Structure 1
Amino acid sequence: MGKKLVIIDTDCGIDDAQAIMMALVAPEVEILGITCTFGNAALDNVCQNVLRVLSVCERSEIPVFRGSAGPLVGAGNPFSDHFGGDGLGDVLQDKDPEWEKKIQKEHAVNAMIRLVSENQNQVSLVALGPLTNLALAVRLDPGFPQKLRELYIMGGNMEGKGNVTLCAEFNFAMDPESAYVVLEEYLCPTYVASWEFSCRNGLPWEFFEELINQDAPAARFMKTITSQCSAYSQTSLKNKRDVFFGPLFVSYDAYAMAACIDGGLVTESISCPVRVELQGAIGRGMMALDRTNVLNKSHSVSVLTKCDVAKFSQLLMASLRQPCTK
């Protein structure tokens, strides 16, 4: 069998960087392209962050495309500083003055449609940020979703627990309309790695120390970008994750990527229709699970609930042993 063809749509913060590295080192994965969207940082920073990751891993041949700079509707929310203002911990000084020349001229959404159309029913799309590029893709090409092999999403929630608002997860809260469009109109096999799923399958902080202290360029890069980031501090003020799930190391986006790389890593999931709430001061951006089919929808998604943490740990460890020969 040939390699699994993958497109990664990302708002490249630290956890996105970890997920991209995981895909880069997976021998069974071929990355067709990386499309960028706003989210963890402004779009220009996201593009530069992806280029940095590819450079560290000596994989700069992979094309990078600039996509949406804001949400589908409205002016958007302020960018999160969860991973620092630049998305990678505000510690990198090596700004590349030539970075824009390394970004493909083709818009991310057009590239996504083209690459999938050239490889119909073969491409796995992994969405790690707000879903704006995906919503625009189905608006430009209504047949786009049915050309995909499968879709993996890191985002949303399944119990109404939010990390940026009372009831909404960050990626969906940043562009609820796009999340709504994608989960209504993408009828391909869809797998959702929610905020609660990621947090419930977190790892001890001792593992994180072992992970970043490996002797490899990628590990040293990860150690640098997490060094001043409160999201990677065991002693930072208690956040919502700690209150709900306890103090654990959680690399959110890596869970969706790991599920794409190895479907056997997911040990339990819920298959049901879902809908993203667009109204209300409290509920906007929340993903509701319709386990009794109140909505009478024909399409279900797989909401992941448990994973093989040992397998996941192995993928994380391997992701930072780069660059290496694939």
Structure 2
Amino acid sequence: MPRLVIDTDPGVDDAFALALAARSPEVDLAAVTTVFGNVGLDRTTANALGLLALAGRPDVPVAAGAARPLVYPAPHEADYAHGQDGLSGGTARLPAHPHGLHRLGAVDLLAQTLRDSPTPVTLAPIGPLTNIALLMATHPDLRSKIDRLVIMGGALTGGNTTAAAEFNIWADPEAAYRVLVEEDVPTVLVPIDLTYRCAVDGAWLTTLRETGPLGEILESFTPSYRAHYTELLGHDCTILHDAVAVAEAISPGLLTTKRMPVTVQTTGPARGAVIADQRLNVPLSPGYREIDVAVDTDLDGLRNWFLTLLGRTES
């Protein structure tokens, strides 16, 4: 069974992503590591522990990672969308985790998991890429143990945090540049150009709530997030960015990808922007790397796939 590690900053959409992986019979969720991002590291870590306990997977080790970007402090978190606690004020509904944090930090747990795995591991970073950049820098010998990176981040036609930049990449552009451009690991990037198209509406959330206890609690985490996107986009919707990326990590090929050279801007007004060179038949420009970018999926099929997994009883 394929092995999966999620690096995350929960976050409402991260909560859905973790629940999908925890309930999937298709992958072995080997570890979860946390990073600053939607809220601070203490909160993202507590949320990850509680979410795994909620999903019936307290056996999955959790390690805390970077509390800040590699170089410059992040100007702000995303609590305006996720709420002060990251889950629309719903963290009181999370059960206590019976084991707590792993004794190792995130980078060391990532390295240990890769080193000890009998087969290559899929890494799914769905927050800022700081932990992954540090892993690559400190354990270059383990690159061959990574089957692929499935990264939620980036925007090809306009950002959600600045005019050019998506939040996860903007939060640590230097880390993103190192991972997306300087490394040589198979990579799938899932940008917001696609995740916005995978939006779910109020009727979908009602159906989720009726699937069972997990669905009911997940739906209860969405009010702040749903209100943010409803105001932003002008209609009732919730954008499950990270869940879309984890869907591809669980079931390769669920998303349609296109090979593109990409780079990350680390300076100027477009800092944090992912630029994809979509010209035809031109040489690879310096400072770019070819990766797979998710561009399409069966939208209704994906939404139904979410409901099937999230409504699945614990194994």
- Give ranges in structure 1 of 5+ residues lacking alignment: none
Among 239, 242, 252, the alignment partner of 1:250 is: 239
C-alpha distance after superposition, 1:54-82 (max 9, x if no partner) = 11122111100010011011222221111
Structure 1 position 58 matched with structure 2 position 30? no
The DSSP-based 3-state class of the residue aligned with 2:140 is coil
**5 Å matches for 1:289-308?**
289-292=276-279, 293-296=283-286, 299-308=289-298
**Cα offset for 1:273?**
1.5
Contact map agreement 2:120 2:147 (CA 8 A) in 1? yes
Q: Deviations over 1:147-206 (max 9, x none)?
A: 2001100001112x1111111000011111100110123322110110111012323432
1:8 counterpart (6, 11, 23): 6
| 1:218-229 to 2 correspondences below 5 Å | 218-226=214-222, 228-229=223-224
**Alpha-carbon distance in structure 2 between the residues aligned to 1:303 and 1:205:** 29
Structure 1 residues 108 and 100, CA gap change in structure 2 (3 angstroms):
farther
Pairwise CA distance, 1:264: 2.9
Larger mean CA deviation between 45-54 and 138-147 belongs to 138-147
**1: CA distance, partners of 2:229 / 2:9:** 26
Give distance in 2, aligned partners of 1:249 and 1:86.
18
Q: Which residue of 2 aligns with 1:321?
A: 311
Please, which of 216, 236, 248 is the counterpart of residue 259 of structure 1? 248
Choose from 206, 210, 230 the match for 1:209: 206
> Unaligned 5+ residue runs, structure 2?
none
Distance 2:147 2:192 in 1: 24
Contact 1:266–1:304 (CA under 8 A) maintained in structure 2: yes
State the partner residue of 2:268. 280
Inter-partner Cα distance in structure 2 for 1:311 and 1:318? 10
- Summarize deviations over 1:293-313 as a string: whole Å, max 9, x none: 451568411111101223312
- CA RMSD of the aligned region, Å? 2.2
Q: Secondary structure at the match of 1:272?
A: strand
Is 1:83 matched with 2:71? no
1:235–1:259: structure 2 CA closer, same or farther, 3 Å change rule? closer
SS at match of 1:27: coil
Which residue is equivalent to 1:131? 129
1:271 aligns with 2:259: yes
Secondary structure, counterpart of 1:149 in structure 2:
strand
Confirm or deny: 8 A CA contact 2:152 2:242 kept in the other structure. yes
Check whether the contact 1:43–1:66 (CA below 8 A) recurs between aligned residues: yes
Is contact 1:184–1:275 with CA below 8 Å preserved after alignment? yes
TM-score, normalised with respect to structure 1: 0.88
